[in-house]
Structure 1
Amino acid sequence: MPLKDFSILMAVIMIVIMLIIPLPTAIIDFLIIINISAALLIILVSMNTQEPLQFSIFPTLLLLVTLFRLGLNVSTTRAILGNQGDAGNVIETFGQFVVGGNALVGFVVFVILVVIQFIVITKGAERVSEVGARFTLDAMPGKQMSIDADLNAGMISDIEAKERRQKIEQEADFYGSMDGASKFVKGDAIAGIVIVIINIIFGLVIGMLQEGLGVAEAADKYTLLTVGDGLVSQIPALLISTATGIVVTRAASEGNLGHDITQQLFAYPKMLYVAGGTIAALGIFTPIDALVTTAVAAALGTGGFFLSRTQLQQAELDAVEETDSGQEDADDMKSPENVVSLLQVDPVEFEFGYGLIPLADANQGGDLLDRVVMIRRQLALEMGMIVPVIRIRDNIQLQPNEYTIKIKGSEVAKGEVLLDHYMAMSPGVEDEAVTGIDTVEPAFGLPAQWISEEMKEQAELSGYTVVDPPSVVSTHLTEIIKRHAHELLGRQETKQLIDHIAESYPTLVEDVTPTPLATGEIQKVLSRLLQEKVSIRNLPLIFETLADYGQLTKDTDLLTEYVRQGLSRQLTAQYVEEGQPLYVVTAGGEVEKAIADSVQHTEHGAMLNLDPSQAQAIVEACAQQVEKMQEGGHMPILLCSPAVRMYLRHLIERYMPQVPVLSYNELEPTVEVQSIGVVTMT
């Protein structure tokens, strides 16, 4: 154990010893000086902190020094009453020298110190701690949302967001602790008063009954010692109480307390002239000694003059620095290295015309940033992936009501919304009373209308689905991210997922990576799952499957098939409603045989080498059966044997990317499958 840590433990043990064992007066003198030194050190540190968290140990330290001071009070009381008034040199000095040997004057000084500490400083610090804790806890949700909004806007990185969240949690813990710790200061003040009263009363009793002193002589002896002890105890207590008030009342600043006071109190030099003139007037028009007022007024005036000149010089210096900075920026723009920063491509970008600025401007009631936060959380729950930061910016090159969505710098979708309208989608039966501007719902391509607010109630009564513009945008953005999720999952993101699961399943991760599978191979498996809208949230089960089959093959397509079969319960729940049969189109035997016979195995894996005419015939047959299923009101699903599922999916994904292809092994045995069509070659 380091020596400094051991010394802290010994100090706590010493406090316990002080409560039990009588100490020699020399040690009591030493401990009293230590108490005063610790109080001075604490108040100086509190004055030099820029924010409360820089002194986060203060609540615990406050408890320890309070306990130390109470233990010291027990020791000094024992010395005063048990050693016939011999309480040590320090207490006697405070009783004789500091208060001039007058017990009454010393008692009055002691009472004033206690009143200042208990009623003014301690009471105020306690109230500020209580209010600070309450407001800090109430503000936590808003601060968290602000961090998420800045993260999604690209203003901060993931690491910075994590640090700011930790700081918010630490602030809440600190103010909560200070709320409780301030009660120790209050109790210490009360205990000081009680101890002094006890010492005076029992000092008189001991002096008269045990030492045979008269009332006046006993009062003079023990009252002076008690007052000295009270001053020795209350002066450090007053410093600690003041430090408590300083810590809990400190707001965010750029410097320590001394820097802030000098910078803010003397920020207006002209006010020093006004104050100096007022003091000079007091010396002229009142009987106050003019020499005193003139000296103070001259000091204020001189200070105002020098501060004014300093501010003027600083303003000139800032102007020169701004000019130099502008020149440096211009030089940087001409520098060939400056183009490096332009090479960065954001994973997801959302750009909008100036007419849609109210969507993202919180001051105008826009909640797009909050919706983006919810989108990232929703996709983390649904798909199991960490959506990267979504860069949101306005683009004057777009039409006012237009927006675009880019994935890795390339535009993948665009749309147009009218902020003062609602999008209404027909339930299938048109109502001629509902009129608006014809449009297309951007996320799913459904026919829709932009209707006015007056038409909204009529549309809802007619069974239309009515959606506000922010919901249209957020739904479109969500679907686009889902559609391109496999592109957003790179090796770096995969490494983050691996590190995350390694915290809970370290042995499982060791069995999968780096041997037998590298990060890139795991990324390919997860990416293929996302490409077919399969959630990768159940990473432990996925890694269990990879651990079982990774030793047998490095073919990522084949590993993906094994993982899909391992996720059979999840896939069944994804496509089958509870208690309902699964309606599918099955691949005919002739189709499956044609695909299986066309599979060629190479050193880079298996590939489908199907005759173009056969491939076209299979795709057209699948399209016909899918269309029939949609006309019948069913979700189109293709079902085939496990051996050809992967190849059939590759064959149709360019033409029907939204149609899922399942194998028999990917469904739970309890599922009732009803085939309502067969894909054939003819």
Structure 2
Amino acid sequence: MSAKDLTVLLGVILIIIMLVIPLPGWLLSFLILVNISLALVVILVSMNMEEALQFAVFPSLLLLLTLFRLGLNVSTTRSILSEAEAGGVIATFGSFVIGDNPLVGFVVFVILVIIQFLVITKGAERVSEVAARFTLDAMPGKQMSIDADLNAGMISEHQAKDRRQKVEQEADFYGAMDGASKFVKGDAIAGIIIVLINIMFGLIIGMVQMDMSFTEAVNTYMRLTVGDGLVSQIPALLISTATGIVVTRVASEGNLGSDVTAQLLRYPKLLYIAAGTIFFLGLTPINFFLTAMIAAVLAFGGYWLSRKSEQEEIELPEDEDETATDQMKSPENVVSLISMDPIEFEFGYALIPIADTNQGGDLLDRIVMIRRQLAIELGLVIPVVRIRDNIQLGPNEYRLKIKGNEAARGELLLDHFLAMSPGVEEDGIDGIETKEPAFGLPAKWITEELKDEAELSGYTVVDPPSVVSTHLTEVIKNHAHQLLGRQETQQLIDHLKESNPILVEEVTPDPLSIGDVQKVLAKLLRENVSVKNLPIIFETLADFGKMTNDTELLAEYARQSLSQQITSQYSKGGGVVKVITVSGRVEKLMAEHIQQTEHGSYLALDPDTQQTIIKAIAEQAEQLSLMEESAIILCSPAIRMYLKQLLDRHLPQMIVLSYNELEPTVEVQSVGVVNVA
């Protein structure tokens, strides 16, 4: 434990001692001066901070200082009532304020208490309540703003994390200040009660127990009570003022002093008006010398500030040019040019309104929701989507890049709606022929006037932002395996380690490296299998990782462990899966041509046989598409991996499942068979 920590603990113990054990006058005087010093330090710190979070300890400190001040009040009250003495500091304050007239001194003290209680304390309490409520209400908006800036590429992931943490800290701080302000109010009420107790019981004790006359008792206890009230109310007044400053402080680049002078004196010409007004006041019976002197000071201040602002305007362009030149020369400027964003969304100038929030665009908010949706579906944290306009594209064109390579392209008409055909061959709706970019379905761009008519005709009508959002979602989902690198894999492993440390230690770094785990997860994502259930995947890797380090086989084992998830993904209502089965002849043919090497295994079929199998599967899939059914190939676990590799080049979207990847409870209906002559 450091000396600073020990000092705070001893201070709290001393407060408790003050509440129980009588203290001598000299020690009370010392502690009173310490109390005043702490209050001065607190208000000076509050005036020099640039934002409230720089004094985040203030709510707890406010509680300790209030308790310390109340402990002093108890000790001084005990000393005043028992000995008619409370140390030199209280006596000096009382004599200085009261002087020869106890009543005048008491009235001054009452005014000070009223200012403390009704003005500063009550105002600070109200501001704390409002600040806490508005801060909590603004949290969702601030979080969305951070996500939007992150997606727009204006800030990095680290900066976004810092901003989110700051928003949470602000909410906690203002919530704590709302409660801490009640201590200030309670302290003011307690101070008033203690003063009344000192006066009433002081007079009784002085006249009854100490044989004082009424006048002598009034002079003695009034002087000590006012002195005690002053030495407690002055620090309380400073702390209350500091509370008001802290809760009303907004973030800026300077402290309170610099902000007040900079903003109050921002308009020098207004000082001339103020100087003229004060000067004309001097023509009345008011003292002309004083008004003329103040008017001269204001006029000189306005002249000096005007000259200073003119010089700054002249010097500013040169400073900006020098700064820009230095930035261009800096090596960091060149290094930043070679960095590559994982996902980039570029659009032509006519599509700027969909991304510009000032023009009502909500693309940034939609991307935030897309990232959250894909994180839930795939179990993968999608990187930030960098959004920028590109004059090389057509006005209505947009392009999506994955790792610097173009992954998709489309075209939008912002003043139209996209109407997708219900499947009935009729040209009842006039529009611009096109294709829906995400799935390639036939569609038309129609005007807003035809929207209702198209919907009544059975068309699916969507607005341009929804079109691009759907396209963006599908492209990212199809390229999720490319977005999962070793760094992203390490983040997933670190997250899993928080809840399953033993499981992670059993898998990595031995027997599998981060790269091996990344390859397994990427293979699952490549076939649209979510890796959200990471514990089951790691259980499988822990079981089979010591037997083989072939990531292809490990991915197959992981798929079989995720059979419940895969079954749920492809089974329709009633737990039915319609599949195209692979004949025993084809399975045997493929199994006989699997070659094992030290670098893994592969399918060694001759090209003609490969084309025959691919053609047979394509014909079966085409027949299913006419029945509006999706094609799912079902085969044995021994050949599933090789059959998928065979189809990847020609039929990449084809779903290939093995018998072990479907739960026994699901009903499998064969709607076709893949066979070769």
Q: Mark yes or no: TM-score above 0.5.
A: yes
Match of 1:469 in 2: 464
- Measured at CA, do residues 63 and 586 of structure 1 come closer, stay the same or move farther in structure 2, by a change above 3 Å? same
Q: Name the SS for the 1:406 alignment partner.
A: strand
Match of 1:182 in 2: 181
Aligned mates of 2:139, 2:158 — CA distance in 1: 19
Residue identity opposite 2:660 in structure 1 = N
Aligned mates of 2:548, 2:476 — CA distance in 1: 31
The answer to whether the 8 A contact 1:106-1:228 is kept is: no
Mapping of 1:81-480 within 5 angstroms? Answer: 81-83=81-83, 85-283=84-282, 285-328=283-326, 339-480=334-475
What displacement does 1:315 show? 2.4
Match among 570, 579, 584 for residue 579 of structure 2 = 584
In angstroms, what is the RMSD of aligned CA positions? 1.5
Residue identity opposite 1:7 in structure 2 = T
Aligned mates of 1:207, 1:339 — CA distance in 2: 85
Aligned mates of 2:358, 2:425 — CA distance in 1: 38
Q: Name the SS for the 1:91 alignment partner.
A: helix
Aligned mates of 1:153, 1:327 — CA distance in 2: 26
Residue identity opposite 2:359 in structure 1 = Q
Mapping of 1:494-513 within 5 angstroms? Answer: 494-513=489-508
What displacement does 1:310 show? 2.6
Mapping of 1:54-65 within 5 angstroms? Answer: 54-65=54-65
Residue identity opposite 1:399 in structure 2 = G
The answer to whether the 8 A contact 1:51-1:250 is kept is: yes
Aligned mates of 2:422, 2:317 — CA distance in 1: 65
TM-score if structure 1 supplies the norm length? 0.97
What displacement does 1:242 show? 0.4
- 1:146-198 Cα offsets, whole Å, 9 max, x none, are 00001111111111111101110111111111111111111111111111111
Residue identity opposite 1:34 in structure 2 = V
What displacement does 1:341 show? 2.7
Segments of 5+ residues of structure 1 without an aligned counterpart are none
Deviates more, 1:133-142 or 1:310-319: 310-319
Aligned mates of 1:428, 1:304 — CA distance in 2: 77
Aligned mates of 1:255, 1:208 — CA distance in 2: 57
Aligned mates of 1:155, 1:327 — CA distance in 2: 22
Q: Name the SS for the 1:577 alignment partner.
A: coil
The answer to whether the 8 A contact 1:425-1:447 is kept is: yes
The answer to whether the 8 A contact 1:101-1:224 is kept is: no
The answer to whether the 8 A contact 2:127-2:248 is kept is: yes
- Does residue 567 (structure 1) correspond to residue 558 (structure 2)? The answer is no
TM-score if structure 2 supplies the norm length? 0.98
The answer to whether the 8 A contact 1:545-1:562 is kept is: yes
Mapping of 1:38-77 within 5 angstroms? Answer: 38-77=38-77
Aligned mates of 2:193, 2:504 — CA distance in 1: 64
What displacement does 1:300 show? 2.2
What displacement does 1:271 show? 2.4
What displacement does 1:304 show? 2.7
What displacement does 1:524 show? 0.7
Q: Name the SS for the 1:415 alignment partner.
A: strand
The answer to whether the 8 A contact 2:341-2:404 is kept is: yes
- Does residue 527 (structure 1) correspond to residue 522 (structure 2)? The answer is yes
Aligned mates of 2:432, 2:376 — CA distance in 1: 36
What displacement does 1:329 show? 5.2
The answer to whether the 8 A contact 1:350-1:403 is kept is: yes
Q: Name the SS for the 2:260 alignment partner.
A: helix
Segments of 5+ residues of structure 2 without an aligned counterpart are none
Aligned mates of 1:207, 1:399 — CA distance in 2: 96
What displacement does 1:383 show? 0.7
The answer to whether the 8 A contact 2:419-2:443 is kept is: yes
Aligned mates of 1:596, 1:433 — CA distance in 2: 53
- 1:348-404 Cα offsets, whole Å, 9 max, x none, are 111111111111111111110000001100100001111111111111221211111
Residue identity opposite 2:29 in structure 1 = D
Aligned mates of 1:75, 1:244 — CA distance in 2: 26
- 1:425-449 Cα offsets, whole Å, 9 max, x none, are 1222245432222111110011111
Q: Name the SS for the 1:527 alignment partner.
A: helix
Match of 2:536 in 1: 541
The answer to whether the 8 A contact 2:327-2:333 is kept is: no
- 1:225-280 Cα offsets, whole Å, 9 max, x none, are 10111111110000000000100111121111111112112222232233223222
Residue identity opposite 2:67 in structure 1 = L
Q: Name the SS for the 2:395 alignment partner.
A: coil
Aligned mates of 1:70, 1:423 — CA distance in 2: 72
The answer to whether the 8 A contact 2:152-2:387 is kept is: yes
Residue identity opposite 2:139 in structure 1 = M
Match among 659, 667, 676 for residue 672 of structure 1 = 667
Match of 1:25 in 2: 25
Aligned mates of 1:263, 1:646 — CA distance in 2: 71
Aligned mates of 2:424, 2:514 — CA distance in 1: 52
The answer to whether the 8 A contact 2:66-2:187 is kept is: yes
The answer to whether the 8 A contact 1:555-1:605 is kept is: yes
Aligned mates of 1:325, 1:147 — CA distance in 2: 28
Residue identity opposite 1:488 in structure 2 = L
Aligned mates of 1:116, 1:501 — CA distance in 2: 58
- Does residue 37 (structure 1) correspond to residue 37 (structure 2)? The answer is yes
Match of 2:625 in 1: 630
Residue identity opposite 1:39 in structure 2 = A
